[in-house]
Amino acid sequence: MKRREFIKTAGIGAAAAAVARPAIAQSMPELKWRCTSSFPKSLDTYYGAAEVFAKAVAEITDNKFQIQVFAAGEIIPGLSAADEVTKGTVEMCHTASYFYVGKDPTYAFGTAVPFGLNSRMQNAWMYFGGGMELMNEFYKKANIYAIPCGTAGCKMGGWFRKEIKDPSDFNGLKFRIGGYAGRVLQKLGCVPQQIAGSGIYSALEKGTIDAAEWFGPNDDEKLSLQKVAQYYCYPGWWEGSTMLHNFINLEKWNALPPAYKAAVRTCSDMANTWMQSKYDAVNPAAMKRLVAAGAKLTPFAPPVMDACLKASLELYHEVSASNPDFKKVYDAMIAYRGDQYLWWQVAEYTNDTFLIRNRTKA
């Protein structure tokens, strides 16, 4: 091609591109949504995942799609977030699915269930094991479309004023724990208590409750619970994954242009990775500080774990017998967990346990 023809052709292409870019941009609507969080700003990582997500959506759409995030209670109470999305009061919320087990215990599978999946398995199940499809089939009944948007990993087992040595120690224990896990522990005689995070310290200090679970070292440290309950037990068997979701009003979701749907999915995935990574980064140092401040790390003894597993399985079977939605998701999750552990026990677990035993070697 001659130089003059090349320049002429290139000029036409550049002009066409210059015209095409604004035309594409002009075709995208300017949208402003509201996202109510189920978490206070003090839980900077839980709440922060929503802000990370919203900021990314704005950037990826050149600020044409803006999502304003509100902390729990600013416009809607934290535990009413999903209800308002269902009604269309707000376009979306950032929440934990298991907050709504009072409506239907099937909601628990979106976040975590006792002796369920760890966080990597939860992600794998959601994205590649059919979990997201199963849960959205269920959420559709509430006019909600859900996308994972945050994973925190396994919880700690909580703060206890007296050491838990035997399953009988749960009998009569007033434990700040709710949801599905609370129902499991009731089978061991525990008395679950619903108390907001801001009230846990004073309740433990006054003896109104005997124990409390919150989140993990980074967030527990902010409540100074080691000053009023020295036994810091583990693991939090009721919550091995702690997955959060963006709950989106179904009509609003269906009305989004494909490019905006892609932006929401992509930015939700980013926030999901950001949240897990941040907790993995900050929890070790927080654990060291808590122990230095007097916390006594105490594993739940094998008989305690065995009793809790037995109680969990009993409850799973009872609920499955009367709730087809629950049974469908539970059976799928348990089958997936079984296959996952075939792999984990070969490579992941073997590698991790070896390195844990040898972590102090240079």
Overall domain count for the chain:
1
Domain annotation covers residue 318: no
Instruction: Give the integer Cα–Cα distance in Å for 172 and 174.
Output: 6
In a domain, 317, yes or no: no
Q: Is the pLDDT of residue 5 over 80?
A: no
Which tokens belong to 289?
């500080």
Do the domain assignments include residue 105? yes
User: What global pTM score does this model have?
Assistant: 0.91
pLDDT classification of 178: cutoffs 50, 70, 90: confident
> Residue 6 has what pLDDT?
39
pLDDT at 15: 41
C-alpha to C-alpha distances, 30 to 39, 58, 64, nearest whole angstrom: 27, 11, 5
Which pLDDT belongs to residue 26?
A: 58
Residue 174 DSSP SS3? strand
Evaluate whether residue 46 is within a structural domain: yes
141's CB contacts (< 8 A; 6+ apart) are none
Evaluate whether 245 touches 110 at the Cβ level (below 8 Å).
yes
- Partnered with residue 233 across adjacent β-strands are 158, 298
The pLDDT-based confidence of 196 (bands split at 50, 70, 90) is confident
Does residue 72 belong to any structural domain of this protein?
A: yes
Q: How far apart are the first and last CA of the chain?
A: 64
Please tell me the distance from the alpha carbon of residue 11 to that of residue 5, in angstroms, as a whole number: 10
Inter-residue contact 238 to 114 (CB < 8 Å): yes
Here the CATH number for the domain that contains residue 246 is 3.40.190.170
Average pLDDT of the chain to the nearest whole number? 93
Residue 19, domain member (yes or no)? yes
Q: How far is CA 237 from CA 104, 220, 233, 240, 241, in A?
A: 21, 17, 11, 6, 10
Range of the domain at 274: 11-151+241-281
- Indicate whether 122 belongs to any domain: yes
C-alpha–C-alpha distance, residues 243 and 269, integer Å: 12
Q: Is the Cα torsion angle 32, 37, 42, 44 positive or negative in sign?
A: negative
d(Cα 106, Cα 109) in Å, to the nearest integer?
6
Report whether pLDDT(23) > 50.
Answer: no
More confident residue, 229 or 196: 229
- Give the DSSP letter string of 69-109: EE-TTTSS-GGGHHHHHHHTSSSEEEE-GGGGTTT-GGGGG
DSSP 250-304: HHHHHHS-HHHHHHHHHHHHHHHHHHHHHHHHHHHHHHHHHHHTT-EEEEPPHHH
Q: Which residue's entry shows tokens 């709504």? A: 100
- Percent of the chain at pLDDT above 70? 93
- Please enumerate in sequence order all residues whose Cβ is within 8 A of that of 279, keeping only pairs 6 or more positions apart, or say none: 45, 152, 153, 216, 218
Tokens of 247: 């709950």
- CA angle centred on 273, ends 271 and 278, rounded to 5°: 95
Q: What is the mean pLDDT of residues 172-178?
A: 95
**Is 250 part of any domain?**
yes
**Please, which pLDDT band fits residue 270 given cuts at 50, 70 and 90?**
very high
Backbone torsions φ then ψ of 92, nearest 5 degrees:
-160, 170
**Cα–Cα nearest to 310, from 118, 172, 115, 131:** 115
| Residue 358, SS3 per DSSP | coil
